[in-house]
Amino acid sequence: MKTLQALWNDEAGFIVSTELVLIATILVLGMIVGLTTLRNDVVAELADLAGAVGDFSQDYSYSAVTGHGSSTGGSSYNDNEDFCSSNDDPAGTADQCVNVAVQSQNAE
């Protein structure tokens, strides 16, 4: 019975465990915010990269070549502008073809 009474009155570890729960909660909340920011920055960088690749000019041409007894005619290709091709996208923003939609979960 004395052992049970001693365990009931023992509060030596209570403060330490409460502090650990508080510290763990703060760390988890900080990680959530940090990972959300990291996700948004990665999406923005990949959107910039996609915009840069989409803005490449794919035009090519070569003129006629005549050699010893053979010849080839020239050829050319003109890359027409797509619906989302533009060179005036501001840096640090998502390209107009990339839609980043984050759904918020509101408790009602």
- Count the neighbouring beta carbons within 10 Å of the beta carbon of residue 55: 16
Q: Average of pLDDT values for 52-79?
A: 79
Model confidence, pTM: 0.48
User: Does a structural domain hold residue 52?
Assistant: yes
User: Does a structural domain hold residue 85?
Assistant: yes
Model confidence at 26: pLDDT above 70: yes
The burial of 77, by beta-carbon neighbours within 10 Å (0-12 exposed, 13-18 middle, 19 or more buried), is given as exposed
- Count the neighbouring beta carbons within 10 Å of the beta carbon of residue 51: 21
User: Does a structural domain hold residue 13?
Assistant: no
Q: Average of pLDDT values for 44-58?
A: 75
Domain limits for position 64: 19-108
Model confidence at 31: pLDDT above 90: yes
Structurally, the chain folds into a number of domains equal to 1
Torsions phi, psi for 86 (to 5 deg)? -160, 145
Could you tell me the sign of the dihedral formed by the alpha carbons of 43, 49, 52, 58, in that order? negative
Of 20-29, 52-61, 99-108, the range with the lowest mean pLDDT is 99-108
Q: What is the mean pLDDT of the chain?
A: 76
User: Does a structural domain hold residue 10?
Assistant: no
